[in-house]
Structure 1
């Protein structure tokens, strides 16, 4: 395993939908980043009659749009109801949490209406509690969410958890009934096909080296060519760098990794996931895991492994965490390992709007599948001057990251500290 081997790309090859056209000299809207946000924005704007070009430094969906875990849900704010209420008051806290439900409702509706082939199945998610205290805290938060936004959930006591997951590792947990899974690469491919069908032109392997505002327009420097656009959308999220500095300065990139197992016997899969759920756990550095859409393998992911570690080291770290939960997989090897960068923000909120002369949507804080399509719709309406473009995040400033050059190293240090605390807690429990 000398380099990334992404399971999703093996089971659904990346889309090759470049129109083969030369770069335009002028365009209504230039979109930098051909992931979920960029592609979905292209669909809306092209259908509204705008000329749209989408640029990416690599292949279509190269970033986390083909590297994520393929888990969908309401994507609630990381601070929780109590944390948001203490900061903004009850009404604003509830409005922010409601956006998570709105995003999921929109995502499901859009996939259905557009007939996107992405293996969407709303199987629910079981989140295991590592301790009795975690179980109680989860129950309290779920009760708050149910009262605030109507979240359906079911607490599962430890004695009954085998009906949900084939392990005795947890002290019970919760089932989130409005969660499910997709095939990330298939979603990226489907969005790309819809964008081309709508009239957008895709330019993979076409890095934008920089942007320069020129009056009411923006120049994009692509190799030895310059493209002039009336509007520019930066949708690079966790893959932003100095070339798209407006996004880069506002997010902290955090590296995560994932593995896919070898094929697992059907009877063992039925034991591990009796209901085909998605899974998670309570921890500071938590692991997410799920069966693949074909039900033949498991995928595990999270912030395991030292910063800059090799694929072999990353696979070993994730596998160690996986075997804590499923010791039954001891004889099952790792077939794929890969990594990706997610984008966090200082206030733990996603953002969209017009900053530094360009339109931005991102900072999804590790929960970008549903948020990206929802934000693409909202951002498109804003660009087009349409109604229904508002969100509860609009009055939260999209601030730049303090001490940005050191942000990734600081995030790595914090991850190590939190991981040590998690290990200490497990040692105490044992």
Structure 2
């Protein structure tokens, strides 16, 4: 297998909007990045009467917003409750975690209100525990979240695991009842159409090469010419580079991969996911997986495989993780293999606010579907100085990374170290 092929492109080959070709001389708001965050921000600003231009370096839909796993949920913090409490205290921890539930509530409401055709299915997520120690830790965490935040959560022992997943690999796990999935490219297309209808000027294949402050305004030099903006939003997230340095120097770009299986029988799909759940697992380098919205294939993804190894190597690495969970798929091939970037931050938290003279929202740490729409709305309110613009993330410092040129190399080294630790845990603690 050679070359990347994204499963989501199959159902939505075109985003279906008439992108602008003529660059205006000025705009109220220039938004760099045409993914979920950029388009969500643009919609709110345009509906408030602002002139908004969205700049995308390539075609709309070439970044992570159209290539991710489409996993939906509260997106709690990577440090876990105890890690957060140790760092911020219990009051702040509750506020940060509550934002995840707020984001999911908002996501559900906006999909319904805007009639966003994105195959939203909140069938719940089963997170498998690789070891008994993981199971006990997950039970403590879930109980704390259920008691303090009202999270809809239940533990499932190994004796009942087959009601959730067609696998004997895990020692049990937890069910997060409000999680689910969407078709990510359909969601992006729906947001793009909303933005277009709101009067947003969408400029694809129009990379911003340089930004320069001038008398309270910003001059943006693009591949198509120059434009002057009153405010600038950088929504490039993991696809930031030195041209959008305010974001680039604050995030670590992590390369991830995904595969889609060949079509499976309905009986096999029902065996793998009896209740239509999406799936995750414990571990430092974990795999996520889910049935496609039409329940004809399964998608598997994560940080398996080398970014420089090509699609064959990527597919081989993901296959190994797939077969440890579902050995019954040993004769099943892959129809699609692709990769994309996600943005991590030093504190494992997303960030929103103003840095280096531009507005930023991003650093979702692999959980950006619900967060990005929520942050886009909140960021627009901040720019407009509207009420209810605050989030619990506002006061978290978004400091630049030390030794930024070595960040991606360091992340690759840590990934290998984490994978070794996961393998050791499986050998010694199962």
TM-score, normalising length from structure 2? 0.98
**Whole-Å Cα distance in 2 between the matches of residues 364 and 269 of structure 1?**
30
Match of 1:165 in 2: 165
**Whole-Å Cα distance in 2 between the matches of residues 18 and 216 of structure 1?**
32
Match of 1:217 in 2: 217
Q: Number of matched residues?
A: 430
**Whole-Å Cα distance in 2 between the matches of residues 317 and 429 of structure 1?**
23
**Whole-Å Cα distance in 2 between the matches of residues 306 and 361 of structure 1?**
28
Once the two structures are TM-superposed, the CA of residue 224 in structure 1 deviates from its matched residue by 5.1
Contact 2:127 2:175 in 1 (8 A): yes
Match of 2:75 in 1: 75
Once the two structures are TM-superposed, the CA of residue 400 in structure 1 deviates from its matched residue by 0.6
Match of 2:428 in 1: 428
**Whole-Å Cα distance in 2 between the matches of residues 337 and 224 of structure 1?**
33
Once the two structures are TM-superposed, the CA of residue 159 in structure 1 deviates from its matched residue by 0.6
Once the two structures are TM-superposed, the CA of residue 16 in structure 1 deviates from its matched residue by 3.8
Match of 2:416 in 1: 416
Match of 2:284 in 1: 284
Match of 1:341 in 2: 341
For 1:14, what is the secondary structure of its paired residue?
coil
Contact 2:23 2:224 in 1 (8 A): no
Match of 1:100 in 2: 100
Runs of 4+ that moved beyond 3 A: 18-21
**Whole-Å Cα distance in 2 between the matches of residues 20 and 402 of structure 1?**
39
Match of 1:229 in 2: 229
* 1:154 and 2:144 aligned: no
Task: Structure 2: give runs of 5+ residues left out of the alignment.
Answer: none
Kindly report which structure 2 residues correspond to 1:44-63, keeping only aligned pairs within 5 A, or say none: 44-63=44-63
Match of 1:11 in 2: 11
Kindly report which structure 2 residues correspond to 1:315-394, keeping only aligned pairs within 5 A, or say none: 315-394=315-394
Match of 2:113 in 1: 113
For 2:316, what is the secondary structure of its paired residue?
helix
Kindly report which structure 2 residues correspond to 1:153-302, keeping only aligned pairs within 5 A, or say none: 153-223=153-223, 225-302=225-302
**Whole-Å Cα distance in 1 between the matches of residues 266 and 12 of structure 2?**
22
Task: Structure 1: give runs of 5+ residues left out of the alignment.
Answer: none
**Whole-Å Cα distance in 2 between the matches of residues 77 and 233 of structure 1?**
25
**Whole-Å Cα distance in 1 between the matches of residues 403 and 145 of structure 2?**
34
For 1:279, what is the secondary structure of its paired residue?
strand
Match of 1:88 in 2: 88
**Whole-Å Cα distance in 2 between the matches of residues 378 and 429 of structure 1?**
44
Match of 1:127 in 2: 127
**Whole-Å Cα distance in 1 between the matches of residues 31 and 61 of structure 2?**
13
For 1:230, what is the secondary structure of its paired residue?
strand
CA 1:36–1:224 in 2, change beyond 3 Å: closer, same or farther? closer
For 2:208, what is the secondary structure of its paired residue?
coil
For residues 240-293 of structure 1, give each alpha carbon's deviation from its aligned partner in whole angstroms, at most 9, with x where no partner exists. 000100000010000000000000111111111100100011011000000000
**Whole-Å Cα distance in 2 between the matches of residues 348 and 282 of structure 1?**
17
For 2:409, what is the secondary structure of its paired residue?
helix
For residues 167-217 of structure 1, give each alpha carbon's deviation from its aligned partner in whole angstroms, at most 9, with x where no partner exists. 000000000001010000000000000000000011111111121111211
Contact 2:133 2:429 in 1 (8 A): no
**Whole-Å Cα distance in 1 between the matches of residues 61 and 153 of structure 2?**
33
For residues 66-98 of structure 1, give each alpha carbon's deviation from its aligned partner in whole angstroms, at most 9, with x where no partner exists. 111001000011111111111111111100110
**Whole-Å Cα distance in 2 between the matches of residues 98 and 300 of structure 1?**
29
**Whole-Å Cα distance in 1 between the matches of residues 51 and 83 of structure 2?**
43
**Whole-Å Cα distance in 2 between the matches of residues 353 and 30 of structure 1?**
16
TM-score, normalising length from structure 1? 0.98
For residues 95-117 of structure 1, give each alpha carbon's deviation from its aligned partner in whole angstroms, at most 9, with x where no partner exists. 01101000000000011100000
Once the two structures are TM-superposed, the CA of residue 429 in structure 1 deviates from its matched residue by 5.2
**Whole-Å Cα distance in 1 between the matches of residues 321 and 102 of structure 2?**
33
For 1:185, what is the secondary structure of its paired residue?
helix
**Whole-Å Cα distance in 2 between the matches of residues 186 and 264 of structure 1?**
22
Bigger mean CA offset, 134-143 vs 74-83: 74-83
Contact 1:155 1:174 in 2 (8 A): yes
For 1:354, what is the secondary structure of its paired residue?
strand
Bigger mean CA offset, 12-21 vs 412-421: 12-21
Contact 1:307 1:412 in 2 (8 A): no
Once the two structures are TM-superposed, the CA of residue 135 in structure 1 deviates from its matched residue by 0.4
- RMSD over equivalenced CA pairs, Å: 1.0
For 1:91, what is the secondary structure of its paired residue?
helix
Contact 1:16 1:60 in 2 (8 A): no
**Whole-Å Cα distance in 1 between the matches of residues 267 and 161 of structure 2?**
18
